[in-house]
Structure 1
Amino acid sequence: MTIQRAERSTPQMTERAAADRHQPVLRDRVVDLLAPALQQPGAVYVDATLGMGGHTEAILRACPGARAVGIDRDTEALALAGERLAGFGERFVPVHAVYDEIPAALAELSISRADAILYDLGVSSLQLDEEERGFAYRMDAPLDMRMDQSRGMTAADVLNGYSEAELTRILKDYGEERFARKIARALVRRREQEPFTTSGPLVQLLHEVVPAASQRSGGHPAKRTFQALRIEVNAELSTWRAALPAGLDLLPVGGRVLVLAYHSLEDRIAKQLLGAGATSSAPPGMPVELPEQRPWLRLLTRGAEQADDQEIAANPRAASVRLRAAERIRETAPADLHAPADHKENRR
């Protein structure tokens, strides 16, 4: 693992400022839920998925005594966020790392705790908008899909190298694609003629393979396949299973964590971990609950909150968001804190 401080960008690094390109999802609700943990001078806020810095900007404005560490695997996002947040000076530090590396990233900065942590999961606005990244299926672009373009396999590597069974698995598990087996079979046949390199031929194949009736009722036929490829390429679920426990372990009593999930598997992991921490571990029927069996988290939301119609109209990418938040209320967490692994996933 290599962790380094990201360099701040200059105005020449991008044609459009990050603030003009990015509208953070549920920004005001995020601030409302996390700000109570960031009121003391020197409080540490960690944006585990910094993106273009919209949430961090709002937190730093609302909590003038807090400082922020912004973590992202995407170097372009770090540059844009660094430009956006440069006015906060030393209150903001950008770090190039993956969000399951938070403990090491903070240790390198001589920080031992995080008073509030935000995880805004999934693909960012920047990654969707940049044609050459290959995340969007509405344009022909190289099949990359790496959030960190400095390392790891690409979507083309997956499409051209995975077996039919492996392709079926990721399409079904990560894309929740009804026609996973049919698509995987067609992918293997097509790549024998010519390897996949750009998204155009892939989208064309999906138009041909997914039944017309499903396309009319289920949206764009490439939506689920692109989602599955992105999750596999970036090992998003295995990383997330490790990241949330690592973050929770850094919270002091009174510290808060907030998760914005856009996929049912991501949300399930958050629901299980936060729910377990907010539930007594005492066996049913025990007359006395021991101190170590008491809940160590307090849920701050009733179930998962969603964006309202007004926000979705202004920011369509908020349509699928699920927000969960919790506060640490006890010092010691169960030693076996982890999320169950639902599926085998690419791990690099």
Structure 2
Amino acid sequence: MLTFGDDTVWTAAEDRYDTMPYRRVGNSGLKLPALSLGLWHNFGDDTALANMRATLRKAFDLGITHFDLANNYGPPAGSAELNFGRILREDFARYRQELIISTKAGWQMWPGPYGGVGGSRKYLLDSIDQSLERMGLDRVDIFYHHRPDADTPLEETMGALDHIVRSGRATYVGISSYSADLTLAAQKIMKELGTPLLIHQPSYSMLNRWIEKPNEHADGKNLLAALTEAGMGSISFSPLAQGMLTNKYLGGVPEESRAAAGKSLNPEWLTDNTLEQIKELNSIAEDRGQTLAQMAIAWVLRPQAEGQVTTALVGASSPEQITDSAAAIQNLDFSDAELERIDSLVTDADINIWGAATDSKHA
């Protein structure tokens, strides 16, 4: 901390870049930390601002330079960007050039026919303008189309992303939850426009492997192979499978959990078989000297996936939780025997709650 009179100014840790690895995003010149912090949960008005501030500070001290938002994050929608914007002004303004700030649009945001669940030019341009205003920024580093929209021509959506970069609202653009075939089609359009897509944000975990499945509309390529062909990086969200790959469910379903509350984790996914698999995975993690959550993050970032998975996107409800997650980078190596054992225990559990968003009529 630096003190000037009665004012105390937070100062980031001097060793913040000493341990976090940074990976190049696809064929671009940009690098992202192996771990990124998502503000989907715990940054709305239902969380104390002091806790958000402490979590963001701790993340940056650990070398996490990428903060990921969306227009509808809250609750209420938009509040995560507002709260982040306040902390950015008060704590991180002098570190802005060291940060990668991203936001997205694609889900419902405001009333009426133009307010979301789409990819129209009007919605995307209105949304980025609102996001910039809420965060107090003149541009974001990455702007994503949050989900495919079968009712909007792909050329219109990609044209809007191209315009957003050319108008200075974003430095790079990306997509989220697009299928392999639609990703290749989108990148083809963007390269013709002169603003290639930088990155894809899919869900991915040991229990959610849709991005590994061949896509018949992409000549049998899966999404990972399509990203390599497209020269794109990826930021994998929900590596903990909405909390399933933590110690929270080793003894069943606790009352305060997301599953019990009926939030983003469907309790029907926690079958007896899945719970037994989670216990077996926890045994592997213990043998590796990691928590289950740490191993789940490490598995997404394993060297065998490097070049295809750039960074793992995690959430955190406290400084302690982001510290625990960051410890995963201390052991990203898996033996062939460990990977084979994991694959023998778990296959895709069909828990991709964004799966419908990967279907498209465009390609």
TM-score, with structure 1 as normaliser: 0.29
Name the structure, 1 or 2, with higher relative contact order (CA <8 Å, separation 6+): 2
